A and B are shown apart, each in its own frame.
Chain A
Amino acid sequence: MILTAPEIDPGAFAEHTGWEIKPEGACKADRCVPLPGAPEEGPVPAALLAEPLGMALVHDAPRALWALGPESGGRALLSAQMPELELPDRHGRPFSLGSLRGTRVVMVAWASW
């Protein structure tokens, strides 16, 4: 997740990572991780999320950018629930993967390269 400041809007964080910030901590699937020192509302310092969740926080100082990697310390999948995701088609029209709920799907990643 690309950041232009070392803090994160909880809504954007939830949308990007699936981790929701609640009073008990950051929660995803059936897991909640306490976030000591996190503010009750408003932006959360990225460093407060990075360590408890095992998310690498990489700072590119010359460009004033930060990137927060995915959670680590376990497997790539924290649960078998397919994450919510919206991606564009080749004409830029957004398509929500959730719109296929009710149908079985085989999703295949490929590339032009």
Chain B
Amino acid sequence: MWQELREELVPQGVEVLTVALDSGGAEAAGPFIDAANPRHPSLIDATHRLDELLGINNVPMGVWIDEQGTLVRPPEIAHPGTSVLRDMLAEHGVPQDAPPLLLETLAEAAKIRVDPERYGAALRDWARRGGESPYALSPDEVVQRSRPRPPELSEAAAHFELGVHLRAEGDVDAAREHFRAAHRLDPGNWTYKRQAWSLEDPLQGPTEYYEGDWLKDVRASGAEHYYPRPDL
């Protein structure tokens, strides 16, 4: 998705940079990067620095950066094209012999709303017009549109970082304690939740370690709220 768009954007002076938020590092994200074989820089953020530095709390989220290194759009859901998974499901349907949890998860995921046309059009406008594009925001607007960060979100970030650190050290139980604290303090942070759940179960289904799971939490908040619509 991003590769095709990148070939269109680069001649207009816009590079694509992708960053995998994966505590498993190259072992987790590497095979996906190898399969995509991107021509753009494709990096790995094993400690979720971008969550902390920018307020990223879901994926895919993107920021736009101008030539001077100034953000002209804050983190927002970045979906410029169709989803490979959605296309496959639309064409082939869901295999009926799939595990029930997978069937339910796919059914719920199908309710998630994305608006790739608007985002893609805005990005192309910025590529064409640069700072003259109405989608390029002033520094003050960028700051004001970034996520509010009350003290409990700082505490959540500290717990999440401890969780990632301890998990890497092999202290799985201690890591879970901190991940649970991060989830409690920042319940709207899908990055914290999905990273921790995925370390227990690739489908992010129910486990004894966490109160929530993907299906339960998406249903609780409403699939239509999973990807907030970018304010374009």
Give residues in A with beta carbon < 8 Å to B. 1-2, 54-58, 60, 62-63, 65, 67-83, 85, 87-92, 95, 97-98, 100-113
Contacts of B158 in A (CB 8 A): 56-58, 67-69
Give residues in B with beta carbon < 8 Å to A. 2, 9, 13-22, 24, 26, 28-34, 41-45, 49-50, 52-56, 59-72, 74-75, 78, 123, 126-127, 130, 139-140, 142-144, 146-151, 153-159, 161-162, 165-166, 171, 174, 178, 191, 194-195, 197-198, 202, 204
Query: Given the complex of chains A and B, what is the CA–CA distance between A80 and B138 in angstroms?
Result: 9
The reply to whether A89 and B41 form a contact with Cβ atoms under 8 Å apart is yes
Which one of B157, B174, B195 has the highest number of Cβ atoms from chain A below 10 Å of its Cβ? B157
15 A–B pairs (Cβ distance < 8 Å), ordered by A: A63-B166, A70-B154, A74-B148, A76-B74, A76-B75, A77-B71, A87-B43, A101-B69, A106-B63, A106-B65, A108-B2, A108-B61, A111-B29, A111-B59, A112-B29
- Taking the nearest CB of chain B, how far is it from the CB of A82, in angstroms? 5
Other-chain residue from A1, A56, A112 in contact with B22 (beta carbon distance below 8 A): A112
- List 18 other contacts, CB 8 Å, given A69-B158, A108-B16, A113-B198: A54-B154, A56-B151, A56-B155, A58-B158, A69-B154, A72-B151, A75-B146, A77-B54, A79-B143, A80-B72, A82-B63, A82-B69, A102-B67, A105-B17, A106-B17, A109-B19, A109-B60, A113-B202
